[in-house]
Amino acid sequence: MGNGIAGLTAADALRDSGFDGELTIVGDEPHAAYSRPALSKALLLDGGDMAPHQLPPTTHEANELLGVRASGLVP
Ligand SMILES: Cc1cc2nc3c(=O)[nH]c(=O)nc-3n(C[C@H](O)[C@H](O)[C@H](O)COP(=O)(O)OP(=O)(O)OC[C@H]3O[C@@H](n4cnc5c(N)ncnc54)[C@H](O)[C@@H]3O)c2cc1C
């Protein structure tokens, strides 16, 4: 799963529905997920400080691979 809101929500939904297997989130950006809408709105007023725009800490206990680009998928 990508390290955006869709990936994080999917991981949370899997946990909420009882899935307790291994989850891995792969994100090619080096930092934790953040609010993209803030890029064109709040961030412009905050002088580039992303701290207020991080998403809440995750609870899905997935392995997070940050700064890693996925090159394929084996379904
Ligand atoms: C500047 C801006 C302003 C926006 N403003 C609004 C708004 O006001 N209201 C609104 O509703 N929506 C807004 N959006 C849209 C909203 O942010 C997106 O709809 C939402 O982020 C989509 O989430 P997503 O998880 O599907 O994809 P993304 O947020 O794109 O997340 C996908 C993740 O996967 C990663 N990824 C992609 N390919 C790979 C790969 N091969 N290997 C590893 N990682 C990979 C990416 O780095 C990214 O972290 C805005 C978007 C932008 C860019």
- Ligand 1 pocket test, pick from 8, 31, 36 with the greatest ligand atom count within 8 Å of Cβ, gives 36
Which atom, in ligand 1's list, is nearest to the CA of 2? 34
- pLDDT bin (cut points 50, 70, 90) of residue 56 is confident
pTM: 0.87
- 3-state SS, one letter per residue, for 12-33: HHHHHCCCCCCCEEEECCCCCC
Q: Residue 49 and residue 46: Cα distance in Å, rounded?
A: 6
Structural domain boundaries in the chain: 5-61
40 close to ligand 1 (CB < 6 Angstrom)? yes
Q: What digits encode the pLDDT tens for the residues 4-19?
A: 889 999 999 999 999 9
2 close to ligand 1 (CB < 6 Angstrom)? yes
pLDDT at position 10 is: 93
